[in-house]
Amino acid sequence: MGLFDRHAGLLEAYRDVRTTGADPFQIRMERVLSPTEAVINGRKTLLVGTNNYFGLTFDPSCMEAAIEAIRAEGTGTTGSRIANGSYSEHVFLEEEIAAFYGKKHCMVFTTGYQANLGVISTLVGQGDHLLIDADSHASIYDACKMTQAEVVRFKHNDPSSLESRLRRLGDKPGNKLVILEGIYSMLGDSAPLKEFVEVCKKYGAYVLVDEAHSLGALGETGRGLCESTGVLDDCHFIVGTFSKTLGAIGGYCVSNDPDFDILRVTVRSYMFTASLPPSIVASVRQALRVVKARPELRKQLWDNVATLYDGLAAQGFKLGPEHGPVVGVHLPDRMLAIGFWRAMLDAGIYVNVAVPPATPNGVSLLRCSVCAAHTPEQLQHMVEVMTGIGRQLGVISGAPKLRVVAGSR
């Protein structure tokens, strides 16, 4: 048996995908023009699938900070924090993120994936209990494979499902850690965090919330779902990323636990990889200042979300359950999703296509992510294009929906 034989099924599925004439998993941006436009296949394309929620990748102050840092400190650190030392800027960034959340401690990681992977797999061990939402991100599932703790899934966004699993643990010894996400990356829905936190308190479970997609987007000052639901003090660990709203790459975890810093010499994804380069640290520090100084970006983002979500809903598209910076458009099956995606690319609009097994409940989705820098015109144009394609493909009905105002008995 060859090394790749075990992937035969996947190879076949992948071949199917490519029969549409374009490979959604190998898109090349020939030139990135702005947070909302790039050249793909030689043509200017509207980007609605980049997680660039505030459009800060091209913020002049963030770019300048990065360039300045390269001139001052070079292109990379060439080593890990533990073995090769921290730069002052790493420590400053950690202090600033901790202060942003009003927490005592912060650890910065080289990616958000590594933050989840390392923190979750290290916080719990043999004899402990890890409870995760069924729709958790891959980084959380991978952490589950690395821990000796017993892992149990509960139904997505269902506090009663979590409660029954905590109840069943009874008086079994061991710590309990519950993993939630601020905004789920496929359908853009938020956890009922207040209710979850109440259940966790009742059963003495620790709470870790991943705010990857909600940093900046939710909360009065952009701290995420923990802030918008008023449970910041009840969340023992908050994880997040620099690669979405903050426009760079990297991850973090904040906590008030007095012994938190021991993670610096136990979390392997922190210890055994090179630390973030100076340019990234500098742009992230500046992006965090922008998030604090320009709350209007959050308003622009949600105005844009409303334009896209309500526009698509009015045309009869089946969407995720609520407004969110991620708008997931349900399509009946994998091939239709890929065909729809391809037609949109041909029409000059780039979104993401998400198909099983990467999606919850085996759904096929066009995954759109909205940016504060999108203009209303760009998004209205997108709704028009999607409506046209949707009608051609029979996903939505041809004529505008008729409302029945009176019926015969």
Binding residues vs other proteins (CB under 8 A): 134, 144, 150-155, 161, 164-165, 168-169, 356-357, 360-362
- At residue 61, what is the residue type? S
Query: Closest distance between other proteins and the C-beta of residue 175, in Å?
Result: 15
151 versus 238: smaller Cβ distance to other proteins: 151
In this complex, which beta carbon is closest to other proteins, that of residue 148 or of residue 266?
A: 148
Choose the catalytic residue: 90, 213, 236, 374. 213
Nearer to other proteins, 38 or 178 (CB): 178
C-alpha 143: how far from chain center: 16
The answer to whether residue 185 is catalytic is: yes
Of 226, 332, 364, 277, nearest to 80 by C-alpha is 277
To other proteins, the closest distance from the beta carbon of 150 in angstroms equals: 4
Give the residues across from 193 on adjacent strands.
Answer: none
Helix and strand counts by DSSP (H, E) for the chain: 14, 14
Closer residue to other proteins (CB): 155 or 264: 155
CB-count burial class (<10 Å; 0-12, 13-18, 19+) for 21: exposed
Smallest separation (angstroms) from other proteins to the CB of 151: 4
> Given the structure tokens 């898109």, which residue do they identify?
27
Given the complex with other proteins, which of 348 and 356 has the nearer CB atom? 356
- Cβ distance 188 to 327 under 8 Å? yes
Residue 213 among the catalytic residues: yes
d(CA 118, CA 112): 10
DSSP letter, residue 156: T
CB of 133 to other proteins, least distance (A): 11
The number of beta carbons lying within 10 Å of the beta carbon of residue 173 is 8
Nearest to 308 by CA among 377, 213, 391, 393: 377
Single out the catalytic residue among 121, 136, 139, 185: 185
Closest approach of other proteins to the CB of residue 272, in Å = 24
Q: Is 164 a catalytic residue?
A: no
Q: Measured between alpha carbons, how far is 159 from 192 in angstroms, rounded to an integer?
A: 8
Catalytic residue among 103, 105, 176, 244: 244
- Catalytically active residues are 185, 213, 244
